[in-house]
Amino acid sequence: MKSVILAGGFGKRLKPLTDTIPKSLIDVDGKPILVRQLEWLRKHDIVEIILCIGHLKEKIVKYMGDGKQFGVTIDYVIEEKPLGTGGALLNAKHHLINEDHFIVLNGDVITTLNPKELIKKIDTNYGILSLVPLRSPYGIVNVDQNMQIKNFTEKPLLRSHLINAGVYCLKPNIFNYLQNKTNIESVGFPEIAKENKLAAVQFNKCFWKSIDGFKDIEEAEKGIKNISAEK
């Protein structure tokens, strides 16, 4: 089974670091994000990897090579100009069109969710999204009906609000809905949802973090250390 990692972005919120280091190679607790992703995929028996790369692509190719040192095989698909997540995936169509289904992963996600749970649900759908509860960026103040403060909760998971975790299982039908220079989240998924061909799996107990800014690196490192301590 194949997996596509969308790692072509500029990582603008991580400047000036990403002026010289591709976002996917940023170190998080001793390992680049991309290496952590390959280890996670390999753990779930997914070893055929397609890397969609653009910004500082030469550095990614030099570091990752053919993937053998990480226990996988890597093929590269190059974006000469930014294509968006939808365009980047469309650019990899020739690698995927004959597959029954495949895993797609945003290049800034670190997670322990089980992608096989997505595969189980793909049969009658064109795509399965992974969803995780939204973590509040702020501490929550809990009050009673008289506005008396009862307690404080530091950045809780808001389990009634689910967000896209950036890990998908898709069928080749997806290519009929993609366009260059657009994002799959805004052009692609909404159309498929209208046809009732898009479903999801909710993950409540996994670790998940998207590395968008410097604070996310710090929070991801804390989370990884907590996972290691629990083993």
194 is catalytic: no
The residues facing 208 across adjacent strands are 111
User: 155, 181, 215, 225: which is the annotated catalytic residue?
Assistant: 155
Q: What is the DSSP string of the chain?
A: -EEEEEE----GGGTTGGGTS-GGG-EETTEEHHHHHHHHHHHTT--EEEEEE-TTHHHHHHHHTTSGGGTSEEEEEE-SS--HHHHHHHHTHHHHTT-S-EEEEETTEEE---THHHHTT-TT-SEEEEEEEEEPSS-EEEE-TT--EEEEESS-EEEEEEEEEEEEEE-GGGGGG--TTS-TTTTTHHHHHHTT-EEEEE-SSS-EEE--SHHHHHHHHHHHHHHHHH-
Q: Which two structure tokens, joined as six digits, stand for 223?
A: 């989370």
Average pLDDT for residues 43-61, to the nearest whole number?
Answer: 97
User: How confident is the model at residue 230, as a pLDDT?
Assistant: 66
**CATH (domain of 38):** 3.90.550.10
Counted domains in the chain: 1
Interatomic CA distance for residues 217 and 26, integer angstroms: 9
Instruction: With a cut of 80, say whether residue 229 has pLDDT above it.
Output: no
In a domain, 189, yes or no: yes
Residue 143 lies in a domain: no
| Position 51 in a domain | yes
Inside any domain, residue 145: no
pLDDT at 70 over 90: yes
Q: Answer yes or no: is 142 within a domain.
A: no
Please indicate, yes or no, if residue 153 is contained in any of the structural domains.
no
**Residues 109-131: pLDDT tens digits?**
999 999 999 999 998 899 999 99
Asked if residues 112 and 207 have their Cβ atoms less than 8 Å apart, the reply is: yes
For residue 138, being part of any structural domain is answered with: no
Residue 77 in this model has a pLDDT that exceeds 90: yes
**147 in a domain, yes or no?**
no
Residue 167 burial (CB < 10 Å; 0-12/13-18/19+)?
Answer: buried
- CA atoms of 152 and 154, how far apart (whole Å): 7
Domain of residue 220: give its range.
2-131+164-230
pTM score of the predicted model: 0.91
Return the ∠ at Cα 143 (arms to 138 and 145), rounded to 5°. 145
Q: What is the mean pLDDT of the chain?
A: 93
